[in-house]
Amino acid sequence: EDQVTQSPEALRLQEGESSSLNCSYTVSGLRGLFWYRQDPGKGPEFLFTLYSAGEEKEKERLKATLTKKESFLHITAPKPEDSATYLCAVQAGSGGYQKVTFGTGTKLQVIP
């Protein structure tokens, strides 16, 4: 069974204090790893897709990296508006049905 584990569950940072969120996964036939941001009471907002080990993607203060077992979401000099829950998801399988499994998320709070 596919498993996605995110750590830490919650993270509190001072504004400007860089850190990383972790997403560990155990799947058969990884097709893609996704990062989403979710604000309270809203649907997830797509951030990145990573396909293969060694791949990196950046967007403003966020940078996502991927290895064969885990992914990191690096947040550089965060601002209060970066406060949200960050979800990791993996897409695995073969053929026409490729299930996406979500982790439980990391709740990030950035304090001014």
Question: What are the residues binding another protein (CB under 8 A)?
Answer: 31-32, 34, 36, 41-46, 49, 51, 87, 89, 91, 97-105
Give the largest Cα separation in the chain, rounded.
Answer: 47
Query: Could you give the CA distance from residue 39 to residue 2 in angstroms, rounded to a whole number?
Result: 25
Instruction: Report in angstroms how near the CB of residue 42 gets to another protein at its nearest.
Output: 6
Q: Between 25 and 34, whose beta carbon lies closer to another protein?
A: 34
Query: Could you give the CA distance from residue 110 to residue 82 in angstroms, rounded to a whole number?
Result: 7
Q: Between 18 and 104, whose beta carbon lies closer to another protein?
A: 104
DSSP 88: E
Instruction: Report in angstroms how near the CB of residue 41 gets to another protein at its nearest.
Output: 7
